[in-house]
Amino acid sequence: MRASPWVLAVLVVLAPVACRRSENAAAPPPKVAVARPVSREIVEWDEYTGRLQALESVEVRARVGGYLQSIHFADGAIVKEGDLLFVIDPRPYEAVLKHAQADVDLAESRLDQAKREIARAERLSMGQKAISTEEAERRAATLRGAEASVAGARATVDAAALDVEFTHVVSPITGRVGRHLVDEGNLVIGGPPNATLLTTVVSLDPIHCYFDADERSVLKYLRLGQTGERPSSRDVNNPVEVGLADETGFPHKGWMDFVDNQLDPGTGTMIGRAMIPNPDRLLTPGLFVRVRLVGSARHPAILLPDEAIATDLDQKFVWVVDAQNHAQYRRVTVGSLHEGLRIVRDGIGPDDRVVVAGIQRVRNGIEVAPEERAIETTPPPATVGGG
């Protein structure tokens, strides 16, 4: 008996569906890589953006006026404290010094004369009483005046000698000098308020690193200090690590040495400062750096690679494989990165098998073919205490 046309049409439509169902039923479970989370005692580090600044930065200005006679450094060189930088023509000041020294000689000769006269008056008064009281007092006053003249003349000599000394401009600190801002032969103005700026010198080793901590971080540090989990950086030189823009990690070690006394009301941040040794002078004032400092006490933590953590709208989750190799959806709360792995604060335990590769093939409740894999870790960095 021949089938009706509509029966044939239904069979034609249903045949591919049945074939697909048969193929799906026969498909093997998807292969995924699973690993147990890394369980480790860690110290969390908080990261910020900082800027390097010299401990000492000095504007070298002329203390006396005159013509700039010579320059004694190469622009940008390293100089030591006391090194000669500039010479201002000293001849006018040397002439003033000689004149002041001559005034000292004159004042001292008058003092000697006054002393002889007072000595003669004392002999006459004691022996023959041949000098009046008024004359004796006059000679004593002359002596005191001569002594004051000598003291004033010597003070003038000291001032003139200082001016001669100031014609030789030396570096006030050890560090790197900038370029010279005045060429030889130019007239410079000395002393306040318009002293000529000649150059600048900044210290390099050690160097300061300034950064801004947000309000929530500041509150966290305060509460950690109150509970004793992490001492305050006001009381202890907590370790700090710094990395430059072209560096991997944080190779430069230092310590906290200052925390400001209030938050900036405009930005809601507080300034912190770290001291960083800089023996190779690679750290240069003005550079931006990545900064991290201790942000917690040592505590046990669960760590996973970021590749194992997916996002569902604003919620983080992972796939966990149970004993029957079925995938389970687990919401997790994550923290910061630690040595390349993400801190998982809750949602999984150290014995869970978490899908770390192939998560795009996983659906809730399906059976998977897990392949055990170990999570690669890096050794924890050595922490550095302050001194």
Higher pLDDT, 263 or 335: 263
Q: Is the pLDDT of residue 64 over 70?
A: yes
Which among 214, 211, 215, 222 is positioned nearest to 274, based on CA atoms?
211
The DSSP symbol for 259 reads E
Q: Are 108 and 150 in contact (CB under 8 A)?
A: yes
Q: Are 275 and 386 in contact (CB under 8 A)?
A: yes
Q: Are 289 and 52 in contact (CB under 8 A)?
A: yes
Confidence (pLDDT) at 56: 93
pLDDT in tens, 307-340: 888 888 888 998 898 888 888 898 998 888 877 8
Confidence (pLDDT) at 126: 53
Confidence (pLDDT) at 252: 94
pLDDT in tens, 97-156: 888 888 777 877 777 777 777 777 666 665 556 566 666 667 677 777 777 877 887 888
Confidence (pLDDT) at 226: 87
The structural domains of the chain, ordered by start, are 45-55+205-294 (2.40.30.170), 58-87+173-202 (2.40.50.100), 91-166 (1.10.287)
Confidence (pLDDT) at 1: 47
Confidence (pLDDT) at 171: 94
pTM, whole model, 2 decimals? 0.71
CA angle, residues 84, 85, 88, in degrees to nearest 5: 100
Confidence (pLDDT) at 386: 39
Q: Is the pLDDT of residue 49 over 90?
A: yes
Provide the sign of the torsion angle of the four alpha carbons 304, 308, 311, 317, taken in this order.
negative
Where residue 189 falls among pLDDT bands split at 50, 70, 90?
very high
Q: Average pLDDT in the 157-177 region?
A: 91
Where residue 69 falls among pLDDT bands split at 50, 70, 90?
very high
How far is residue 177's CA from residue 227's CA, in Å, rounded to a whole number?
47
